[in-house]
């Protein structure tokens, strides 16, 4: 036991200092490298923004650069600790392949992100409906897409969920059609109601003349005669026109004595004398 103590002290004085320094160097490389990778990520984003690259591509490329640089930093730190990075890279590749088979969803999300950048079904700033939700696209990342809902909630949607279903892009076209249904009672004057609706449409400067607005009887429903009002507006005016026209129709119908009936049923009672 006493003979082992000098050998242990000799090992600590010779090898221990070297191992400690290597660990310290590895930590410095990792911390400094991670900081540099973060700075290069920001620089990449700024350069792409200065070159006026589409915002949809900027976030994806910046995150990809950061991940690749971080892998390089980890390999450099391991090399300082004495690991054979070539062997480690082979092990990492094999492990990555095995993990990839187990986590096929992650690979599918990455592939979906690449496909979205290639085919461009939408871009940052578009209001879309996809992946079971709807919102404004804020950033397309490597595996997910970040969206903001109209009530200012952040939703993270896997890329594969978006490309795996229907995508409705409300921002692609410069104009949209507003569809309204206005019901009147069966005892009301159809021509008068139609004239009122046409007057409401004509007085709203936000409604476009081309394509021409359409006001027509669309249905003889159980409790009402329904008019359909279809008008075209600039996409930015869609909801303002929708809400204002709905309110104006109610007020004008009240002024003109045109009823908007409640759902109702006629019940007929028959008396049988036995």
Q: What is the pLDDT of residues 194-213, one digit of tens each?
A: 999 999 999 999 999 999 99
CB 241 within 8 A of CB 178: yes
pLDDT tens string 53-94: 666 667 777 777 777 777 777 777 777 766 665 555 555 565
Q: In what order do the strands lie in the sheet with 154-158?
A: 154-158, 144-148, 133-140, 127-130, 168-169
Percent with pLDDT over 70 in the chain: 77
Instruction: Pull the structure tokens for residue 74.
Output: 């980890």
pLDDT tens string 217-268: 999 988 899 999 999 999 999 999 999 999 999 999 999 999 988 776 667 6
Q: Report the C-alpha gap between 40 and 186 in whole angstroms.
A: 70
- Is the alpha carbon torsion for 220, 222, 224, 229 positive or negative? negative
CB 44 within 8 A of CB 61: yes
What is the per-residue pLDDT for 6? Answer: 59
Domain with CATH 3.30.70.100 in the chain: 175-256
Domain with CATH 2.30.30.60 in the chain: 122-169
Domain 175-256, architecture per CATH: 2-Layer Sandwich (3.30)
Domain 10-102, architecture per CATH: Orthogonal Bundle (1.10)
The dihedral region occupied by 106, where left means phi > 0, alpha psi between -120 and 50, and beta the remainder, is alpha
Q: Counting Cβ atoms within 10 Å, is residue 14 exposed (0-12), middle (13-18) or buried (19+)?
A: exposed
Domain 122-169, architecture per CATH: Roll (2.30)
| Strand boundaries in the chain, DSSP class E | 127-130, 133-140, 144-148, 154-158, 168-169, 175-184, 214-220, 225-234
Domain with CATH 1.10.287.1260 in the chain: 10-102
CB-CB neighbours of 135 under 10 Å: 23
Average pLDDT, rounded, for the chain = 81
pTM more than 0.95: no
């Amino acid at each position: 036991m006493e003979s082992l103590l000098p050998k242990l002290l000799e090992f600590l004085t010779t090898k221990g200092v070297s191992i400690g320094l290597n660990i310290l160097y590895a930590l410095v490389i990792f911390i400094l490298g991670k900081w540099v990778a973060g700075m290069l990520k920001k620089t990449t984003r700024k350069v792409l923004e200065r070159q006026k690259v589409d915002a949809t591509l900027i976030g994806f490329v910046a995150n990809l650069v950061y991940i690749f640089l971080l892998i390089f930093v980890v390999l450099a730190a391991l090399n300082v600790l004495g690991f054979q990075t070539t062997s480690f890279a082979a092990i990492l590749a094999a492990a990555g392949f095995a993990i990839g088979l187990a986590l096929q969803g992650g690979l599918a999300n990455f592939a979906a992100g690449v496909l979205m950048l290639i085919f461009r079904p939408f871009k940052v700033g578009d209001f879309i409906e996809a992946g079971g939700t709807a919102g404004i696209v804020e950033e397309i990342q490597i595996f997910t897409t970040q969206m903001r809902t109209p009530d200012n909630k952040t939703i993270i949607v896997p890329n594969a969920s978006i490309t795996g279903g229907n995508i409705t892009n409300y921002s692609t076209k410069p104009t949209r059609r507003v569809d309204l249904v206005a019901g009147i009672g069966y005892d009301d004057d159809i021509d008068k109601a139609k004239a009122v609706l046409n007057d409401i449409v004509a007085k709203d400067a936000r409604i476009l003349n081309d394509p021409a607005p359409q006001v027509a009887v669309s249905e003889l429903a159980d409790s009402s005669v329904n008019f359909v009002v279809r008008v075209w507006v600039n996409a930015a005016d869609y909801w303002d026109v929708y809400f204002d026209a709905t309110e104006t129709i109610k007020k004008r119908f009240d002024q003109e004595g045109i009823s908007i009936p409640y759902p109702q049923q006629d019940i007929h009672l028959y008396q049988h004398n036995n």
